[in-house]
Structure 1
Amino acid sequence: MLKHWPPLNALRGFEAAARLGSFHQAAQELHLTQSAISQQIRSLENFLEQPLFYRSGRSVTLTDAGHDLRSTTQSLLQQLAVGIRRLEQYRKPNQLVVNTSPAFARHWLLPRLGEFHRLHPEVDLWLFTSFEPPDMSTQTIDLTLRDDLSAQAECSYLELYSDRLYPACHPSVLEQPEALRTTLHGEREMDWSHWLVEGGADIGQRSNGLNFSDPGLLLDAACAGHGIALVSQLLTQQARAQGLLAPLCEQSVRGPTWAWLIHRDSEGSPLTRSFCEWLLGALQVPAEP
């Protein structure tokens, strides 16, 4: 990391002059005088201790160092412009930022977002997914809904749904001999050791097979017919309805608890309230009195 950086205005002036091949045209584009552009580039050359342009009368051409800096500066300014434009989303008056896991977003929330938008078109929902729970005190998030949450300061915490887990696979896998079925392994409660600890029956699962750190990909693999998996009752509602999954037995075991955290600054917002009421209904959780 550099200890000292050239002024941004000098880099902008250099990029315009390098792209247009003219100090005069760069000055017109940036609404400056030609002498101001010349001074910016001279200061940049002094900072770098090498020339960036060959000057011949009114004509200028880039040196080898100038060509190199041109590509670097254009990339830098483009990334900066994209980043600044992206900040506009934080000024939207009706924006609601919701965090959840990729698995919940893809397998439960996404199929139902159309219904939420139809009921609440005024809410400009931004769905932010992450594999780890966010720090609500440092991130701009109104509500997070996950199965790996604990209470955080300045947030209200509510447990919403006690999940159940069961072994399942694509119906085509049921036609395979048990010895030929691949076992799909997940992490945390989706690991088969949890099934055994909770008293799950032996349904032919093996210790080897395919391993997944993302429960969403584990569910995708099971739906695609790659093997048998321990899956979430909540997240498989859509797949079961579409005939992509079939249970291997009637038994289920204790799963994770889904909960939400709502930041105190968002708790009284009508946007947050609309989303929470819809979510409680969709999860079939009775609202608190």
Structure 2
Amino acid sequence: MLKHWPPLSSLRGFEAAARLGSFHKAAEELSLTQSAISQQIRSLEAYLEQPLFFRSGRSVALTDAGHDLLSTTQAMLQQLSVGIRRLGQYQKPNQLVLNTTPAFARHWLLPRLGDFRRQHPKVDLWIFSTDEVPDMATQTIDIAVRDDISSQAECSFRVLHADRLYPACHPSLLSVPGAQRTTLHGEREMDWSHWAVESGIDVGQQDQGLNFSDPGLLLDAACSGLGIALVSQLLSRKARADGLLQPLVDDTIRGPNWALLTHRDSESDPMARSFTEWLLANLSDP
């Protein structure tokens, strides 16, 4: 592992020169002189102990090492740019940062955001959706609503909703014989083995089919008529109301518990309380 990193300025100069194919154009883009860009590239090559460009008169071309470094550098600079832009969110006086799963954000929260906005127009809500459970002690997150989270340090913990699961499909598949319907497989509680243990009812599910790690994508697939799936009662409310999903049987089985984590620094925040009250009121809706 490198003991020291090359200067960021030299990596920016290299990226611009490599992307534009010209030290002169790179200098213009970065408001530097061409000699400054050349010096940055020479310093970077000396540091890496290998050439990054073939030089022929005024034209330059990347070596194999240069091509390799370009992809790495562009990805790093892009990630750094996004991270720096995101920091501006923390300067907003009415900012409320919510972490949740992509499935909850897309299928439950998004259809109801208009109502929340009408009731609380001054709350500048930032929805930070992640597949990974956040570390509330180290990340700047006010509240988290997830079905895969437990208590954490620096936070209050509250179970919001005990979800139920049921097998369903698009209404157009109801007339298709069970053996001819594709089975859509999910993970955790949405794996069909969970249904077999808890219910034992055969709805035509097969061991093979299509597999999804994201329960939201699993629900999308079922709603689009790709097959039968074990879906969340909570997340599928709008799909059923819109006529995109039909239960295969009346039985349901236990699903995950949706929980709320509130960072202790946000517990007395009126915006956090407003969102929590709105959330509880809407979770209880049929």
Q: Does 1:85 align with 2:89?
A: no
Q: Give the 3 Å change call, closer, same or farther, for CA 279–41 of structure 1 in structure 2.
A: same
Q: Give the 3 Å change call, closer, same or farther, for CA 114–63 of structure 1 in structure 2.
A: same
- For the 8 Å contact 1:239–1:245, the answer to whether it is kept is yes
Q: Which region of structure 1 is more displaced relative to structure 2, 79-88 or 201-210?
A: 79-88
Larger Rg: 1
Residues in 1 aligned to 2:135 and 2:144: alpha-carbon distance in whole angstroms: 10
2:116 corresponds to? 116
Residues in 1 aligned to 2:189 and 2:51: alpha-carbon distance in whole angstroms: 62
Question: Matches of residues 205-220 of structure 1 in structure 2 within 5 Å?
Answer: 205-220=205-220
Q: Give the 3 Å change call, closer, same or farther, for CA 273–208 of structure 1 in structure 2.
A: same
% identical equivalent positions: 62
Secondary structure of the corresponding residue to residue 217 of structure 1: helix
Structure 1 unaligned runs (5+)? 53-59
2:241 corresponds to? 241
The Cα of 1:269 is off from its aligned counterpart by: 0.8
Q: Give the 3 Å change call, closer, same or farther, for CA 259–41 of structure 1 in structure 2.
A: same
Secondary structure of the corresponding residue to residue 272 of structure 1: helix
Q: Which region of structure 1 is more displaced relative to structure 2, 195-204 or 158-167?
A: 195-204
- For the 8 Å contact 2:199–2:251, the answer to whether it is kept is no
1:98 corresponds to? 98
The Cα of 1:48 is off from its aligned counterpart by: 4.5
Q: Give the 3 Å change call, closer, same or farther, for CA 46–78 of structure 1 in structure 2.
A: closer
1:147 corresponds to? 147
1:183 corresponds to? 183
Question: Matches of residues 186-205 of structure 1 in structure 2 within 5 Å?
Answer: 186-205=186-205
- For the 8 Å contact 2:108–2:235, the answer to whether it is kept is yes
1:174 corresponds to? 174
1:56 corresponds to? none
Q: Deviations over 1:215-266 (max 9, x none)?
A: 1111111111111111111111000000001111111111111111111111
Residues in 1 aligned to 2:51 and 2:184: alpha-carbon distance in whole angstroms: 61
Residues in 1 aligned to 2:233 and 2:190: alpha-carbon distance in whole angstroms: 11
Secondary structure of the corresponding residue to residue 127 of structure 2: strand
Q: Give the 3 Å change call, closer, same or farther, for CA 122–45 of structure 1 in structure 2.
A: same
Q: How many residues align?
A: 269
CA RMSD of aligned residues (A): 3.4
Give the letter aligned to residue 189 of structure 2. E
The Cα of 1:13 is off from its aligned counterpart by: 8.1
Question: Matches of residues 18-167 of structure 1 in structure 2 within 5 Å?
Answer: 18-19=23-24, 29=31, 45=42, 48-49=45-46, 75=74, 79=78, 80-167=80-167
Residues in 2 aligned to 1:261 and 1:249: alpha-carbon distance in whole angstroms: 34
The Cα of 1:203 is off from its aligned counterpart by: 1.9
Q: Deviations over 1:159-198 (max 9, x none)?
A: 1111111111110100112221222111111111111211
Residues in 1 aligned to 2:24 and 2:90: alpha-carbon distance in whole angstroms: 33
Residues in 2 aligned to 1:179 and 1:11: alpha-carbon distance in whole angstroms: 58
TM-score normalized by structure 1?
Answer: 0.78
Structure 2 unaligned runs (5+)? none
- For the 8 Å contact 1:200–1:251, the answer to whether it is kept is no
Give the letter aligned to residue 205 of structure 1. Q
Residues in 1 aligned to 2:279 and 2:190: alpha-carbon distance in whole angstroms: 24
